[in-house]
Structure 1
């Protein structure tokens, strides 16, 4: 069944791969971008560009966009890049939360959040029990280097989960490890994984596409890194076991 899918942050590398993959599968992909100069790039991938500033758009603005394209699913893949803390909060936190409200307001249920591995309450909740010394060291380095980004993502993810009784979204939080520009392998490790393996951006896009196919991922947050399991199988295993790495850590 073909769907109409709205991707916020369409100019990013993961989102571009996702647009190409979904369009090739016969879906209609509307891609929200900030820069009109990127229109032809999105069109070449099979997407339909929408010029809209996430920072300047209200909940009503976003809901109008979602409604106008008759979206059946919304994917949040936008990010400020982590350089400017104020803009990171404006996009990764506040913009993301507005998109959740807008999706609910537009009457759309399916919502995919692209987050990141190790996004959690590091001060108030216990660390994941599967972490080893290398995971702890990498966690410390990540939060030290891009703490503003991690905090913004955490606030958004927590809001998605804790406010869902009000919104009623069928959400999935996809939490990839460090992104690489390597070619897709089509294989990952998913669920409760270690932090160190990288994952190609194209494989992250394939994970998102698989989540849109697999209703068993609704209500889950799971990590994904490079591994040895075919993506569809890895996602199916997460769905079957109801793995949620965010539960108890927000």
Structure 2
């Protein structure tokens, strides 16, 4: 049966793949994009099968977001928006504050299912222990990434922590998908998920497949899990994470 899905940050590269995949399966996809100069985005998204909604995440209140979630009769809310690690101010406005407003809006709209794309190694690096499976290569990469795009990682961390720690109030059935370094390569349909190392990259198309698979697998509710390139079919990798309740964020916020 077709479902209604709303994607915040619909013009992003991962979101476009998700849109195409869901539309191909007969789902109704509503894509929220900024209005400024995005006529070409509207046309290309509509060609993928989306219905576009013009709304600025930075300028939207919780009520504004809840209103469009209700209007679309969405059963799933996907947060795929990101400022791209550019301006620290815009990163804070989108990846932190905008994401948190979308969580409240989802709850206010009466929708349970909420999936957010975050990033691998998003954690409290000062106050909590590092993942026990990290090796020297992971530590070096972690240090390098946090030094390069610290405001982005911190904004993601604050949003993810809020999603988890405030969920008694919101009551969302959330999943946090935490991909490694992203590439624009064609998807392979195979990944590694769960307790993984940081050195492997993952294509945006494969991240999209992971998100779509999470929508199908209710066992991923309440989990935050890492995914990178690997050799396990996406469905099997996600199923294993769900079965074993593997959570890369637990104990690190």
- Residue by residue over 1:98-139, the C-alpha shift from the partner in whole angstroms, topping out at 9 and shown as x without a partner, is 000000000000000100000000000000000000000000
Alignment partner, residue 186 of structure 1:
189
- Residue by residue over 1:55-100, the C-alpha shift from the partner in whole angstroms, topping out at 9 and shown as x without a partner, is 0000000000000010000000000111100110000000000000
Task: Report the 3-state secondary structure (helix = DSSP H, G, I; strand = E; otherwise coil) of the residue aligned with 1:128.
Answer: coil
Counterpart among 188, 213, 218 of residue 215 in structure 1: 218
Alignment partner, residue 238 of structure 1:
241
Aligned partners of 1:83, 1:106: CA distance in 2, in Å?
31
- 2:79 matches 1:76: yes
Aligned partners of 1:192, 1:34: CA distance in 2, in Å?
35
Aligned partners of 2:192, 2:25: CA distance in 1, in Å?
24
Task: For residue 2 of structure 1, report the CA deviation from its aligned partner.
Answer: 1.3
Alignment partner, residue 54 of structure 2:
51
- Residue by residue over 1:5-30, the C-alpha shift from the partner in whole angstroms, topping out at 9 and shown as x without a partner, is 00000000000000000000110000
1:148-167 matches, cutoff 5 A: 148-167=151-170
Alignment partner, residue 29 of structure 2:
29
Aligned partners of 1:198, 1:34: CA distance in 2, in Å?
28
Q: Which runs of 5+ in 2 are unaligned?
A: none
Alignment partner, residue 2 of structure 1:
2
1:65-214 matches, cutoff 5 A: 65-214=68-217
Considering only aligned residues, what root-mean-square deviation do their CA atoms show, in Å?
Answer: 0.5
Q: Between Structure 1 and Structure 2, how many residues are aligned? A: 250
Aligned partners of 2:136, 2:22: CA distance in 1, in Å?
38
Task: Report the 3-state secondary structure (helix = DSSP H, G, I; strand = E; otherwise coil) of the residue aligned with 2:192.
Answer: strand
Q: TM-score, normalised by structure 2?
A: 0.98
Task: For residue 229 of structure 1, report the CA deviation from its aligned partner.
Answer: 0.1
Q: TM-score, normalised by structure 1?
A: 0.99
Task: Report the 3-state secondary structure (helix = DSSP H, G, I; strand = E; otherwise coil) of the residue aligned with 1:225.
Answer: strand
Aligned partners of 1:65, 1:236: CA distance in 2, in Å?
32
Task: Report the 3-state secondary structure (helix = DSSP H, G, I; strand = E; otherwise coil) of the residue aligned with 1:237.
Answer: helix
